[in-house]
Amino acid sequence: MTKRKNQKRFSEETWLLDSAIAEIYAANAGFGSMEAAESKLLGVLELKPNLEERVEAFNLLAQLYAQTARHRDALEYFASALAAGPGAAAPLTEGLAEMFENQEEWEQAIGVYMQGLTRCEDARLHNGLGYCLDKAGRLREAEHHHRRAMELAPDVTAYANDLGYVLLEQGELQQARVHFERALYLDPAYELARNNLSLCSKQASELR
């Protein structure tokens, strides 16, 4: 029996990537090894990965290093992933930034979003950056990026609510109300915007 000529070639790079992902999941569950996952991902880069495999290896290494508090290494491999796959800048940026957000490493996440935005101006990245700037207490900068997210994607309910909230935090109650009402216009069932609008009304009444 002869092999079919169009049969897919076995890829050691793909096997190592899949194995590394499984190892990371196992490590997060308490019975795997981040060191083993790192070794496999570095092994991918030592072979001859195609572009997709190279970007994925860089991306996974960046996320692994973020999880293990090796921030400089994380940012280095993130930069490599962006350089190799600029068309995937938005998901690459969100993936790493969210890991830092989960650790409440706001300044690290801010740096990731800013680096991603140099490759791709995307509403998701502006909104994520605004959220992290808000958490870091940098409200004016947060407002700027939330406004830019709204300019790029004016019909996204969450963006209207988030802009309203950062305005509320700064005491800009009338402006905040406009954006909470916009969010509810887009989605009348959006409970967070409804609660924020009530909070806005309460604060306004206390000032009278």
In a domain, 26, yes or no: yes
Q: How do residues 147-173 score in pLDDT, each as one tens digit? A: 999 999 999 999 999 999 999 999 999
Q: What is the pLDDT of residue 10?
A: 61
Mean pLDDT of the region 97-109: 96
Does residue 74 lie in a domain region?
yes
Q: What is the CATH number of the domain that holds 112?
A: 1.25.40.10
- Residue 190 included in any domain: no
User: How far, in Å, CA of 112 to CA of 89, rounded?
Assistant: 11
Q: What pLDDT, on a 0 to 100 scale, did the predictor assign at position 1?
A: 42
Q: d(Cα 124, Cα 147) in Å, to the nearest integer?
A: 12
- In angstroms, the CA 32 to CA 53 distance is 22
User: What's the pLDDT at 6?
Assistant: 43
- pLDDT > 70: percent of the chain: 95
Q: What is the pTM of this model?
A: 0.89
Domain boundaries, position 74: 13-120
DSSP string, 38-106: HHHHHHHHHS---HHHHHHHHHHHHHHHHHTT-HHHHHHHHHHHHHH-GGGHHHHHHHHHHHHHHTT-H
Contacts of 153 (CB under 8 A, 6+ apart): 123, 159
DSSP string, 1-44: -PPPTTPPPP-HHHHHHHHHHHHHHHHHTTSS-HHHHHHHHHHH
> Looking at the predicted structure, is the pLDDT value of residue 136 above 70?
yes
Res. 112: pLDDT tops 60: yes
Residue 208, pLDDT score: 72
Cα dist from 171 to 48, 120, 130, 196, 201, whole Å: 56, 32, 17, 13, 12
Is residue 144 in some structural domain? no
Count of structural domains, the chain: 1
Tell me, yes or no, whether 137 lies in a domain: no
Q: Is the pLDDT of residue 73 over 60?
A: yes
Question: What pLDDT, in 10s, does the model give residues 14-23?
Answer: 999 999 999 9
Quick one: pLDDT at residue 5?
46
Token output for 1: 């029996």
Q: Tell me, yes or no, whether 24 lies in a domain.
A: yes
